[in-house]
């Protein structure tokens, strides 16, 4: 493959130029912007300051951070608890059935999460479908106020992000050599020990990939808290959106975005550490 390298070189130039211009450069600009002062609308390093970060730690914004981490953490845990058994059952099915079952998880993975969140409103409203059913069954006597609470936000996030947990975990479980499980059972390990010592460690890369795909969007899909949580519900995504488009405090918004990127980098490093032997990114 040494002869005709024009094709390779031109492609390399094209993709690196594109990524440098529309991925790396903008990311550097966010970091620069996060150290600049409020007056400058464009990133400049003439006035270097740490004030934006200091501001985040000292004020009420920090509470948004805490709340976002708490909600995103609960959502990730719920997705894992719901998604892992689901993925495990589906992975052990025969191929024909499995293909169809996976297809019906892929559909919500790719279709608009805004539309699917909107669909939840009719169900969660005070006079909505859920309350009507519960009332008519006599389970509750007062309609539950679910919409515009944190529970609605958590439910909406789990509803939207569950496929993002299921698919990487499923891919991982499919690659699991089931003979290892049988061997453990033959050697006298009970179901719990087999799961904790064999299955769980071997599927950890899938769990981590799924958790990254759930955790970060859970903090940053701003329209779900916006339409399901009401005005009180502010997560990191809403905070960034506010700083950029309403408060026009871009440096502060950039500081939050930079912190998010750092969280991402930390999670990716953990993921890479766990999958060093497995170079292909086949988790989608």
Partner 1 sequence: MKMSYLSLIYFFFYMPIFILVLYSFNNAHYSLVWHGATWHWYQALFNDYDLWIATWHSLILGVLAASAAMIIGLLTATILYRYEFFGRYLLNGLLFVMILSPEIVMGVALLILFTTIQLPLGFISLLLSHISFCIPFVVVTIYSRLVGIDKNIFEAAKDLGATDWIVFTRILVPLVAPALLASWLLSFTLSLDDVIISYFVAGPEFEILPLRIYSLVRSGIKPELNALCSVLFVITCALVILSQLALRKPKTSEIN
Q: Which of residues 229-268 bind partner 1 (CB under 8 A)?
A: 237, 240-241, 244-245, 250, 253-254, 257, 260-261, 264-265, 267-268
Smallest distance from the beta carbon of 187 to partner 1, in angstroms? Answer: 26
Q: Assess 113 for contact with partner 1 (CB under 8 A).
A: yes
Dist CA 16 CA 268 (whole Å): 21
**Burial class of residue 55 (count of CB atoms within 10 Å of its CB; 0-12, 13-18, 19+):** middle
Describe the crossing of helices 61-91 and 204-220 by its angle, rounded to 10 degrees: 140
Smallest distance from the beta carbon of 89 to partner 1, in angstroms? Answer: 5
Contact criterion met (CB below 8 Å) for 162 and 83: yes
CB-based burial, 138-175: b 16+ in 10 Å, e otherwise: eeeeeebebbbbbebbbbbbbbbbbbbbbbbbbbbbee
**Burial class of residue 71 (count of CB atoms within 10 Å of its CB; 0-12, 13-18, 19+):** buried
Cβ closest to partner 1, residue 111 vs residue 182: 111
Dist CA 190 CA 63 (whole Å): 44
Cβ closest to partner 1, residue 64 vs residue 120: 120
Q: Assess 276 for contact with partner 1 (CB under 8 A).
A: no
Q: Assess 227 for contact with partner 1 (CB under 8 A).
A: yes
Q: Assess 35 for contact with partner 1 (CB under 8 A).
A: no
Q: Assess 219 for contact with partner 1 (CB under 8 A).
A: yes
What are the structure tokens assigned to 222, written together? Answer: 């701003």
What residues numbered 155-184 form the site for partner 1, per CB under 8 A?
A: 159, 162-163
Smallest distance from the beta carbon of 188 to partner 1, in angstroms? Answer: 25
253 phi and psi angles, rounded to 5 deg: -60, -40
Dist CA 227 CA 150 (whole Å): 12
Cβ closest to partner 1, residue 197 vs residue 281: 281
Smallest distance from the beta carbon of 13 to partner 1, in angstroms? Answer: 11
30 phi and psi angles, rounded to 5 deg: -60, -45
Cβ closest to partner 1, residue 194 vs residue 226: 226
Q: Which stretch binds partner 1 (CB under 8 A): 48-56, 106-114, 172-180, 199-207?
A: 106-114
Q: Assess 112 for contact with partner 1 (CB under 8 A).
A: yes
Cβ closest to partner 1, residue 171 vs residue 194: 171
- Of 122, 183, 193, 196, the one binding partner 1 (CB under 8 A) is 122
Q: Could you tell me how many residues of this chain bind partner 1 (CB under 8 A)?
A: 92
CA–CA distances in Å: residue 280 to residues 23, 240, 284: 22, 34, 11
């Amino acid at each position: 493959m040494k002869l005709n390298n024009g094709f390779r070189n031109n492609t390399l130039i094209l993709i690196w130029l594109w990524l440098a211009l529309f991925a790396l450069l903008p990311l550097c600009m966010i970091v620069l912007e996060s150290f600049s002062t409020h007056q400058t609308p464009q990133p400049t390093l003439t006035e270097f300051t740490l004030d934006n970060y200091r501001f985040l730690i000292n004020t009420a914004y920090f509470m948004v951070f805490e709340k976002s981490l708490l909600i995103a953490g609960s959502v990730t845990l719920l997705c894992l608890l719901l998604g892992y058994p689901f993925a495990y059952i589906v992975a052990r099915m025969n191929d024909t059935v499995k293909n169809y079952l996976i297809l019906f998880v892929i559909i919500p993975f790719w279709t608009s999460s805004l539309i699917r969140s909107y669909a939840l409103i009719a169900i969660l409203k005070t006079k909505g479908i859920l309350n009507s059913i519960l009332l008519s069954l006599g389970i509750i006597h007062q309609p539950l106020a679910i919409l515009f609470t944190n529970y609605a936000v958590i439910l909406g996030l789990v509803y939207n992000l569950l496929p993002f947990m299921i698919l990487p975990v499923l891919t991982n479980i499919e690659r699991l050599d089931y003979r290892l499980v049988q061997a453990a059972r033959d050697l006298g390990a009970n179901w719990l020990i087999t799961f904790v010592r064999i299955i769980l460690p071997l599927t950890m890369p899938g769990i981590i990939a799924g958790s990254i795909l759930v955790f970060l969007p859970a903090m940053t899909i701003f329209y779900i808290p916006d339409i399901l949580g009401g005005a009180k519900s502010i997560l990191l995504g809403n905070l960034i959106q506010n700083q950029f488009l309403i408060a026009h405090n871009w440096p502060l918004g950039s500081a939050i975005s930079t912190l998010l990127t750092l969280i991402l980098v930390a999670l990716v490093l953990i993921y890479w550490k766990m999958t060093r032997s497995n170079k292909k990114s086949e988790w989608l």
